[in-house]
Amino acid sequence: MDLFQKCYDYDVAKNAREKGIYPYFHELNSGQDIVVQMENHRTIMLGSNNYLGLTSNPEVIEAGIKAIEKYGSGCSGSRFLNGTLDIHKALEREIADFLHKEDAITFSTGFQTNLGIISAIAGRNDVIIGDKENHASIYDACRLSFAKLYRYEHNDMEDLERQLSSVDPSKGILIVTDGVFSMGGDICNLPEIVRLAKKYNARVMVDDAHGLGVFGERGAGTAEYYGLEDEVDIIMETFSKSLASLGGCMAGKKEVVDYVRHNSRPFIFSASMPPANVACARKALELLKANPQMVKNLQEIADYVRKGMKERNIDIRDSVAPIIPINTYEDEFTFIACKKLFENGVYVNPVISPAVPVGDAIIRTSYTATHTKPLMDEAMDIIADTFEELKNMKK
């Protein structure tokens, strides 16, 4: 059989294109902001992870420009060899301090961060227990580690304990969970996870990609939100969301971070973060530390939208993060709704099977601290009118 036969047979994207409802790869003609030019027309952006609105911040942009002028466009090598700049180490010190951890290590992307941490920490004689709704990068990392993977039902602490109680106590155990779940916008039950980890001698890792800049008094994320910064062994962060850049990091005990630094293949054999990415992340972190009000602004605008959508009878799921899923249930209807919303001036993200169970599709909307109430009223009115139009078309 031809290796490429699966490629020739794949027709999902082709069928969506033929129906005129293909929702992916829309082209931006401007930078990320609350309103963008997308395919040459004004579009309200409700599909970005730019939670603090810092991608268009002049200070962040200027920091990136200055870094390129000083260090050039890239590092031309691995951190392990010639690719470590003084600003890499400065960012690691700053992020470790912000997360109240002893040390930190940076990776070139968020996806690579999970691959690099988990594949180094866990091995064939270890067990990983993870939430079923964990990010795809965690699943791929578990495969790369060769550890035995068990999954517990989403945020189901009874099921987590059932899984923990079945593990041979001679095995090393890692409990890994998203802090904030990227599709549903809900938060993990970290207090109970920590309690169970202590009971069963397990370690805890939190992927807080959607928690940094979103939760906690300082915006330090899920562990700060619960007051459990000292109880989480490994915190994973990305820089591509609240910190308006690209890359990621691991923060934890000095010995653990140093072990990953010298044993993680995705870290050792990848080129380091480019200077501009490092500088932008550092400046964004500096602005977050100086302006924690941004975190409150983000929560206030998300709460305003949740209330407004309910008042407009838009079918949303409960969430606590600035991620508000709209129930659409059927995959094809989700594509149609996203197309209509885009035509009407609002960009949102379709989430269909297998990312969610069949019949449980959603439109994922996400919010930014710089969104304004008048702009959100405009967006919500468009969403309500669009769904009313689609409802009438179904009749």
Give the three-class secondary structure for 121: helix
Q: Which of 275, 120, 298 is nearest to 221 (CA)?
A: 298
| E strand segments, the chain | 35-38, 41-45, 103-107, 126-131, 148-152, 172-178, 203-207, 234-238, 248-252, 323-329, 346-347, 349-351, 361-366
Rg (CA), the chain: 21
**Active site residue: 88, 101, 135, 210, which one?**
210
**Separation between Cα atoms, residue 130 and residue 150, nearest integer Å:** 6
**Separation between Cα atoms, residue 244 and residue 52, nearest integer Å:** 8
Tokens of 64: 């990136």
Residue 351: strand pairing partners? 362
> Among this protein's residues, is 262 annotated catalytic?
no
**Separation between Cα atoms, residue 136 and residue 264, nearest integer Å:** 19
Look at strands 126-131 and 148-152 and give their pairing.
Answer: parallel
> Among this protein's residues, is 391 annotated catalytic?
no
**Active site residue: 182, 242, 264, 272, which one?**
182
Cα of 348 vs its chain's centroid, Å: 16
b (16+ CB within 10 A) / e for 125-163: ebbbbbbebbbebbbebbebbebbbbbbebbebebbbeb
> Among this protein's residues, is 73 annotated catalytic?
no
Tokens of 284: 């964004």
CA angle 98, 303, 222 (to 5 degrees): 25
Task: Provide the residue count of the chain.
Answer: 395
**Separation between Cα atoms, residue 66 and residue 50, nearest integer Å:** 22
**Active site residue: 241, 283, 339, 371, which one?**
241
Look at strands 103-107 and 361-366 and give their pairing.
Answer: unpaired
Q: Which residues are the active-site residues?
A: 182, 210, 241
